[in-house]
Amino acid sequence: MTKKPTLSSVAKEAGVSVPTVSQVMRDTGRISEKTRQKVLSAAKRLRYVPNQAAATMRSGDNREIGFILNKLANPFNAEVVSGAVDLLETEGFMVSILDAQGDLQRQDRLLEACIRFGRRGLIWVPALDTSEVSMELLNAHGVPAVTFMRKVSQSFDHVGILNTEALAQATQHLIDLGHKHIAYFGGTEQSSVREERIAGYLGALKQMDDVQPIVWPCDENKSAGVDAIAALRHQHPEVTGIVCNGDVVALGACFGLIRSGWKPGHDFSVVGFDDIEDAAVSTPGLTTMAIDPKKLGKRLAEILLDRMRTPDLPVCHFEYSATLTIRGTSGAAPNL
């Protein structure tokens, strides 16, 4: 096995002392530019990488952030993470992406791990039914945290979405297009986010006479959307449009419609939620309530950085409006 490069081997290669190499690597001390370049060149030749764990023990300045979410496989979550990581890395932080998968016990283990390994801060999408104990754990150890989507405590900074307003607008869009039978499609959890979205859908339907709301549960993935749209159409042939819990299941519904010979936006209308990258490039393009997940991720990172720099800042709660982005999957109600 090749012996790994060390400060001593870099010093020997560069012809300088170990303290000089250490100062160059930490960008401290009064080192001439010529000597600095000689050390950096030697380090590059030897493939030397400083041991950050050791540096952290010396300085007490941990440069790692934890990001706990649920279902990283969902493209929306991946885009939020991308936006947060882009900013945090430019600020010199490494981000540990941890997927609790909606499991409370797994989430608690990950929270404890973030504390045990000294993560400097935490961005957190709390699992459904997160307990007070989990929040008290973070508070007891003074971990700066920003929650996303689900607000579980007034003591943490939070970024959320005006879900009720967004789904009311999405449903109204289909009503304005002449649709009289509209279903809410997707999701299975009785989470606050989904309940708020369903409330927006129900509120918009109240203006219509003799219309029964239909809430059609479905797992949040494309294949589930394909099967669920077929089942919905079979049981409720009167439905001509759906507003969806998210873009992924909306795209699945569109694939299911196309598979059965129906054209989204012409024979049946679909409105998504999130505006992930696939929404714009699908054929036809997906009409959706856009919230720019990468921008949300960047905002989460900004708030966490502010909290770490100035711990005594007032707690902030931000809720963002979604924007109706009309593409090809919504159109006038067909004559059935």
pLDDT at 302: 97
Question: Looking at domain 7-50, does it have CATH number 1.10.260.40?
Answer: yes
Average pLDDT, the chain: 91
pLDDT at 336: 63
pLDDT per residue as tens digits for the range 164-187 = 999 999 999 999 999 999 999 999
> 51 falls in which pLDDT band (50, 70, 90)?
low
Burial of 29 per CB tally in 10 Å (0-12, 13-18, 19+): exposed
Residue ranges of the chain assigned to CATH 1.10.260.40: 7-50
Residue 212 has pLDDT above 50, yes or no: yes
Predicted TM-score of the model (pTM): 0.81
Amino acid at 52: Q
pLDDT per residue as tens digits for the range 213-227 = 999 999 999 999 999
What CATH number belongs to 163-292?
3.40.50.2300
Beta strands in the chain (DSSP E): 64-69, 94-99, 121-124, 145-148, 157-161, 182-185, 214-216, 241-244, 269-274, 287-290, 317-320, 323-325
Residue ranges of the chain assigned to CATH 3.40.50.2300: 64-161+294-320, 163-292
pLDDT at 1: 47
Taking residues 46-74, report their average pLDDT: 73
What CATH number belongs to 64-161+294-320?
3.40.50.2300
Burial of 210 per CB tally in 10 Å (0-12, 13-18, 19+): exposed
